[in-house]
Chains A and B, each alone.
Chain A
Amino acid sequence: MIRYLYGHELDRFPKLKSTMFQDRAAQFKGRLGWDVTVDELGHERDCYDDQAPLYVLWQKPDGGHGGSMRFLPTTGPTMVNDHFKALTSGVEIRSPHIWECTRFCLSSGAGANVSAALMLGGVEVGLGFHLSDAIGVFDPRMERVYRKLGWQPTILGRAEEGSAIAVGLWEFSEKVRTLLSWRAGISRDLSKHWFERSFGRQSLAQVA
């Protein structure tokens, strides 16, 4: 199922949390060979995990991590503005309608439907919170995954030949939501239910 959890809420799901950081180590340090820090617990974490981000996660039936991504508003500190302005022609991308999405991660063995479900969760965040786009630093080798899903980023810039870094823009639209919903095999209603379960409580409080 798709879960939407802010940084401080991860502790409610210890297994999901630890397997996410382990899977990130396996993907970014292991498979992609990025220069990232892995701690003594085998967790890949960076300073943006300390900025109270919003995580979108795919939780497997056993409670573990199937995939995840991380959102932060571009009006606060972001990876793109702090470190990769050279890839955006020097433009600092700050807007309340654009959030940064980074650390798109899939556990090894996750099927295509998991990446589709995760991207669907990303679109739910975008459309649910009135965003126009997500911006993110990503590995160009992941482009294949996005292309297969039908939601390719617009590339703002790429680092030098041979380096595994690009900055991309993903536009949120109803069309992409429909497409990903179909690819993931998750109905509009189910996806809506998961979103509302996280962001809107059913018990209303007009008590007075």
Chain B
Amino acid sequence: MAKRLQPILDDIARVTTLDELQQAIFALRDAFGVKHIIYHSVNSTGEQYAALTYDQKWVDRYLAKDYARIDPVVLGCYQRFHPVDWKKLDWSSKVARSFLAEAIEYGIGNQGFSIPIRGPSGQFALFTLSDDNTDENWAQFTANNVTDLILVAHFINQKALEIERGTDILPEQQLSPRETDALTLLAMGYSRAQAADSLSISEHTLRVYIEAARFKLGAMNTTHAVARAMARGLLVV
């Protein structure tokens, strides 16, 4: 999956408008082969933004009925931050059940998986996939993809924040000298052990510095992170 995702993440990295972000959501949906993907963000001042593949009819219906009040996905993910399969949410009430029946009728699918995201200064978002599938296949799909999905969800969120602020790179996405050193040594062909030794830190510490850099750079893995940093001219090799 990482191989198929990398070109999409490269496209996401180049996104500069919300329209392009919407296109990226469609590309992600096709890459994961699910029915729908929904990204929904609420910032610290309560402003909302969504990029999604749902039919507009369901969006209109959802807003007109103010379903966010009773939607178990919203209620279950608000104030929590672990990824959750929709089956584990509380659908016991009558309103929740009829809401689900209606959602299925509108083509949402009978399965879902949501990843809550906490951003800077009180911003939060929800990244959701939905599909028509058996319990067994869906469990298999989410187990196989959850690590990638968590990363992708956060990259989409970083991009949305970047577009909202209108700056190229968020301050929190700038690499510190230590991260630049770590990536530079790897780019020069040092092994992790050699790089850690050169910087007089443990391999565990090095791994976490690289992880922090990788996340800031929106990269799937270390190789991708080094390539990104080189492309941005952040490394002198």
Q: Do A and B come from one complex?
A: yes
Interface positions of A (Cβ within 8 A of B):
6-8, 52, 54, 72-73, 75-77, 89-98, 128-130, 132-133, 135, 154, 156, 169, 171, 199-201, 203-208
A16 to chain B, nearest CB (A): 18
Classify chain B's interface size: 35 or more
Residues of B with Cβ closer than 8 Å to A?
A: 79-92, 96-97, 100-101, 104, 110, 117-122, 124, 135, 146-147, 150-151, 153-154, 157, 172, 176-179, 202, 204-205, 208-209, 211-212, 214-216
- Report how far A105 CA is from B151 CA in the complex, Å: 31
Given A75-B118, A206-B87 in contact, is the A169-B205 Cβ separation under 8 Å? yes
| Contact across chains for A207 and B101 when beta carbons are under 8 A apart | yes
Contact indicator B208/A98 (Cβ below 8 Å): yes
Bound complex: CA A89 to CA B201 (Å): 11
Picked from A54, A77, A200, the residue with its CB within 8 Å of the CB of B88 is: A200
User: Which 8 A-B residue pairs are closest in the complex by CB-CB distance?
Assistant: A205-B91, A76-B118, A208-B101, A200-B88, A154-B204, A89-B178, A90-B176, A52-B79
Q: Is the beta-carbon distance between B212 and A94 smaller than 8 angstroms?
A: yes
Closest Cβ neighbor of B178 among chain A residues:
A89
B83 touches A130 (CB 8 A): yes
| Residues of A contacting B135 in the complex (Cβ-Cβ under 8 angstroms) | 204, 206
Residues of A within 8 A of B151 (CB): 96-97
Return chain B residues, CB-CB under 8 Å to A97.
Answer: 147, 150-151, 211
What is the interface of chain B mostly: helix, strand, loop, or mixed? Answer: helix
CA distance A203 to B93 in the complex (A): 12
A selection of 9 A-B contacts at a CB cut-off of 8 Å is A8-B79, A76-B124, A77-B121, A77-B122, A129-B83, A204-B87, A205-B96, A205-B100, A207-B101
B32 to chain A, nearest CB (A): 17
Q: In the bound complex, do residue A205 and residue B204 qualify as a contact, i.e. CB atoms below 8 Å apart?
A: no
| In the complex, residue of chain A having the shortest beta-carbon distance to the beta carbon of B82 | A129
Inter-subunit contact A205/B205 (CB<8 Å): no
Query: In the complex the two chains form, is A95's CB within 8 Å of B88's CB?
Result: no
Nearest-Cβ distance from residue A9 to partner chain B, whole angstroms: 9
Q: How far is it, in angstroms, between the C-alpha of A27 and the C-alpha of B122 when the chains are bound?
A: 29
Starting from the known contacts A91-B179, A199-B88, 9 additional A-B residue pairs (CB-CB under 8 Å) come to: A75-B117, A93-B208, A94-B172, A97-B211, A135-B208, A156-B205, A199-B82, A204-B87, A205-B92
Interchain CA distance A171-B204 in the complex, whole Å:
8
Q: Which residues of the partner chain A approach B172 to less than 8 Å between Cβ atoms?
A: 92, 94
Instruction: Please indicate the chain B residues that have their CB under 8 angstroms from the CB of A90 in the complex.
Output: 176-178
Q: Which residues of chain A come closer than 8 Å to B150, judged between CB atoms?
A: 96-97, 130
Query: Which residues from A are CB-within-8-Å of B85?
Result: 200
> Taking CB as reference atom, which chain A residue is nearest B85?
A200
Given the contacts A206-B87, A207-B91, A93 and B212 also touching, CB distance less than 8 Å: yes
A100 CB to closest chain B CB (Å) equals 11
Q: Which residues of B contact A200 (CB under 8 A)?
A: 85, 88
Chain B neighbourhood of A75, CB < 8 A = 117-120, 154, 157
Determine how close the nearest CB of chain A comes to the CB of B222; give it in whole angstroms: 13
Please measure, in the bound complex, the distance between the C-alpha atom of A98 and the C-alpha atom of B151, giving whole angstroms. Answer: 12
